[in-house]
Copies of this chain bind each other. A is one copy, B any other.
Amino acid sequence: MSVTKLQRSNNAATEAELQFTANGQLRHLLTLRGLDRDQLNDLLDQSQEFVTVPGQSVVRSKALLGKTVANLFFEPSTRTRASFDLAAQRLGADVLNLDVNTSSRKKGESILDMIYTLEAMQVDVFVVRDAEAGVPAYIARHVNKYVSILNAGESDVSHPTQGLLDLLTIRQHKGEFENLIVAIVGDIAHSRVARSAAEGLTTMGVCELRLISPPTLAPAPGTFPEKAKILHDLDEGLRGADVVMALRIQRERIVNLDGIPGIDEYFARYGVSHERMKLAAPGAIVMHPGPMNRGIEIESSLADSPRSVITQQVRNGIAVRMAVLSTVIQSLASQ
């Protein structure tokens, strides 16, 4: 199954539509495209009810009692897998963790045969992470109507629950989105986190969205909302920003990238630091999807400072995944 074939068979418009049942309820979560402002706000409102703080008991419910959630990770993950695992357990679901090596997929059975097998074991929700674009939608097109697919990270295309937790975190700090300037900084080209955040923020009507990266890591045309401004100068990008999101960059990518010879120079040019944050709006928050390369894309002490909402993002991640799981299970039941 080649990337090209998959992408061709997954038309963008229909992928967004595919997510809803006939009566308009969210059944799969593949991308934030196709969810309008009310639908996003509904999910954020529900997520907010699952948010707890340290020392408080976690919210537990039996919303998924008797239901089965399979975490099907074709790409290794610790934090996202843990987050979905705990979200499902706290809702009373049975959980099946399957870490599947992609190379074994090539030799072995087709991905659909694996899905059909697990579907026949009455798995209700598949949480899918895959390095190949189009896989979650491809699966969603083929499962029976009692099954939901949640995208837990898809190539450099989409990571919708991450997008939702980013929106929730911003809303908790800033309230409305209309007047916000949001700056996303780093390896934009390869970032599914940036794409899902950009899609969500655009729908929420953010005032200005800036994507700041070395020229080589700028987004390919058509991959991000048109509204987004593409910039290469960090100072320009941070000026007046209310929200600054630093992205993880793979160290291997920093090899004389646009004349940036090494890690120190990358930090000097594109690292988000205390000094740089002086250009941002007063009260601006700093975000990062994790895991962080401290001292590369973000100054270590900034990540631990009161401006940083990074831990809160993780906390919101559990809440968002509980809300999404509850929503799709209800949607499956009401068909």
Interface residues of A (CB under 8 A from B): 52, 54-55, 57-58, 60, 66, 68, 70, 78-79, 82-83, 85-86, 89-90, 94, 96, 98, 100, 108-110, 113-114, 116-122, 144-147, 290-294, 311-312, 314-315, 317-318
In chain B, what residue has the closest Cβ to A97? B97
Bound form: Cα–Cα A267–B94 in Å: 40
22 contacting pairs across A/B (C-beta < 8 A): A52-B122, A54-B119, A54-B122, A54-B147, A58-B68, A60-B66, A70-B82, A82-B118, A83-B121, A86-B96, A86-B122, A89-B94, A109-B293, A113-B291, A114-B291, A116-B311, A116-B314, A117-B311, A119-B311, A120-B315, A121-B318, A122-B318
A312 and B120 contacting across the interface, CB-CB below 8 Å: yes
Q: Out of B52, B89, B120, B147, name the residue touching A314 (CB < 8 Å).
A: B120
Q: Out of B52, B96, B144, name the residue touching A85 (CB < 8 Å).
A: B96
Bound form: Cα–Cα A247–B294 in Å: 42
Q: Which residues of B contact A68 (CB under 8 A)?
A: 58, 86
B146 and A54 contacting across the interface, CB-CB below 8 Å: yes
Q: Which residues of B contact A318 (CB under 8 A)?
A: 121-122
B90 and A94 contacting across the interface, CB-CB below 8 Å: yes
Given contacts A58-B68, A82-B96, 15 further A-B contacts (CB under 8 A): A52-B122, A54-B119, A54-B144, A54-B146, A55-B146, A78-B114, A79-B117, A79-B118, A83-B121, A86-B96, A113-B290, A116-B311, A120-B314, A122-B315, A122-B318
